[in-house]
Amino acid sequence: MSGASIYSLADTQAKQESAAWARFSAPGSLSEFCAGWLAILCGQVDRVAGALVLLGEDGEYSPVASWPDASHNLRHLAPLAESTLQQRRGVVEEGAAAQPGAASTLIGYPVEVDGFLHGAVVMEIRPRPEAEVQRALRLLHWGSAWLVAEFRQRAALRVEARAQRLEVAQEVLATAMQDAGLRASALAVANDLAGRLGCERVAIGLVRHDRCEVEAISHTATFDRRTDFVRLLAEAMEEVPDLGQSFVHPPLAADAVGGLAHATLSASRGDVSVLSVPLADDNDTVGVLTLERRREQPFGAEDLLLCEAAGELLGPVFAMKRRAEMPWTERTVGAWRRGATMLFGPRHPGLKLVALVVLAVATVLALATTQYRVASKVAIEGAVQRSIVAPFQGYVAESHVRAGESVRAGQVLARLDDRDLRLERARWLAEAEQMARRYRQAAATSDRAAMAISSAQEEQARAQLALVEERLARSTLSAPFDGLVVVGDLSQLLGSPVEQGKVLFEVAPLDRYRVILNVDERDIGEVAVGQRGEIALAGMPYERLPFTVRNVTPVSTAQDGHNFFRVEAQLDSASVRLRPGMEGVGKIEVGERKLLWTWTHTFVEWVQLALWRWVT
């Protein structure tokens, strides 16, 4: 090779290296940076046949830079790139080169930043010793640090840009919160965004009844909705909720979806740049934000991200202000519409499941029937309850039983002091004997008048004596039948006076009982003679005793603020464990009723009565 050729080749390599360093130092895009970096790396590694940089995320990776140029066939590096991405480590393989018969060595290295795989670098180098291969792999590892640094720097720039967008969006949100009224707030936001983003016009529309109505236009206090411009603006806004996405005209990418109404609006305004983003509240589009700029200053990706961030913050605010200004009828209809959308729309599966369960339960309650039973408090009483009273005024001498004890017929319960009666009996006995002697004396003298008087006085004394004898017999109080003493304890009253007629004991039989149910007045209409039921007593909670209703008294008694009617029933069979005075709960079976009626009739009847009371 001549010296001129060598000089020309060196000059070409120098120019290529200078161009690579220029792209690497001041890249216009990530692809230029990777291309410059790859060219510099391949210049440091001897005898490189080809190299490729693949970048992407979520399993989708594509080439962004190649060496020596894009026309060079590097498809044979694809398996190595796939293996490097899967193994996420440096890989060295022996493979065939692009030209048949030329052996080559393939090396690959992943590009990871903080555990996140961004891509891989693969390189084909001509045959060399193992040490040279390891050196090339180390150079690739060393050089990948520039890619890692670039990714981190770009991530930091994205975070900073996002923070700036959020700061601007929060300032716009503060502007929206300054005014209480919806229209004033929307106008203030439109004016603020027009000044911040250098827009010719900013408009805000709100969705009402599936249509978008223009609510505010920047630097315009009033406007006529019937004008062509406002109509075209509303049509462009309606494309956003209809398609569920933001629109930029002209589109940011050649394959981006454009809106026909946005294109029409842009043409009517002199081919201006138009940007529309949704105002969302809980995934529902409540409005649209539309911005216009001169065609010399089109909207970019940063403008789109900023406006979308502002839309996410402004949507709930405008929705809240609109709800506050709605009449209650419209708020009610809106709530029903939102509920129907959630229930029959494509989302909210949990709500749909709950609604199906509620519907199934309601259907069962409305169709199924059950035995309705009226519940009430219950008490056990003896079928016959005999009172033992004081036969005369006197004093308690003896007491042999107390309440709760069982007694037999004729068993002595208590005795009253009879000393005064005995003395009185002796007096009347002596009086009768005296009158008998007078009668005999008068008979001896045949004094008929004296005989008649003496006979009458003797009969009077005999009657008084019989009365005293009767009172003496009653001084001993005995049980009238076998039973249980339910009331009475005179053990602490020995020697105390008692009045005639005072109840000293009450005795009830142990083999015959009656059930007393206190039924609330709301349920007394359901109760009739002959109905059956069961009781559960506090002393026997696990045993159910059946009974039959025998009598419903028409008189009520007031207890705890409610009126109760006394219902008497007879037990089908008495338990040996029963005792008078036991209490519990009884339920009377009144017939079949719907489950829904059984659970709700008390409340429904209360509402009916309340309405009757309140309605004049």
Return d(Cα 458, Cα 436) in angstroms, integer.
Answer: 6
Q: In the beta sheet, which residues pair with residue 124?
A: 50, 106
Q: What is the CA radius of gyration of the chain?
A: 55
Residues 99, 131 within the same domain: yes
**pLDDT greater than 80 at residue 98:** no
Residues 462, 534 within the same domain: no
**SS3 at position 481:** coil
Tell me the residue range of the domain where 284 lies: 179-338
Give the mean pLDDT of 128-136. Answer: 80
Residues 486, 531 within the same domain: no
Within a domain: 361: no
Residues in the chain: 616
pLDDT at 97: 47
Residues 144, 198 within the same domain: no
- Burial string for 245-279 (b: 16+ CB within 10 Å, else e) reads ebbbbbeeeeeeeebebbbebbeebeebbbbbbbb
Domain's final residue, options 280, 303, 338: 338
- Report the percentage of the chain scoring pLDDT > 90: 5
Return d(Cα 314, Cα 192) in angstroms, integer.
Answer: 13
* CATH number of the domain residue 529 falls in: 2.40.30.170
Within a domain: 366: no
Residues 262, 150 within the same domain: no
Return d(Cα 289, Cα 512) in angstroms, integer.
Answer: 88
DSSP tally for the chain: helices H, then strands E: 13, 24
Q: How many CB atoms lie within 10 A of CB 203?
A: 27
Q: What is the pTM of this model?
A: 0.49
Residues in Cβ contact with 275 at an 8 Å cutoff, skipping those fewer than 6 apart: 246, 247, 248, 249, 290, 291, 292, 293, 299, 303, 304, 307
**SS3 at position 596:** helix
* CATH number of the domain residue 295 falls in: 3.30.450.40
Return d(Cα 405, Cα 100) in angstroms, integer.
Answer: 120
**pLDDT greater than 80 at residue 123:** yes
pLDDT at 204: 92
Give the mean pLDDT of 285-303. Answer: 89
For 148, 218, 317, the CA distances from 398, given in Å and listed in that order, are 111, 109, 91
Residues 69, 22 within the same domain: yes
Residues 234, 276 within the same domain: yes
Give the mean pLDDT of 530-545. Answer: 88
Query: Which residue is associated with the tokens 């109905």?
Result: 531
Residues 380-415: tens digit of each pLDDT? 877 667 777 777 777 777 777 777 677 777 777 777
Residues 189, 253 within the same domain: yes
Residues in Cβ contact with 603 at an 8 Å cutoff, skipping those fewer than 6 apart: none
Residues 473, 524 within the same domain: no
Residues 32-59: tens digit of each pLDDT? 778 788 777 887 787 788 888 888 877 7
Residues 490, 519 within the same domain: no
Q: In the beta sheet, which residues pair with residue 108?
A: 91, 122
pLDDT at 65: 81
Tally of structural domains, the chain = 4
Within a domain: 482: yes
pLDDT at 2: 46
DSSP state of 331: H
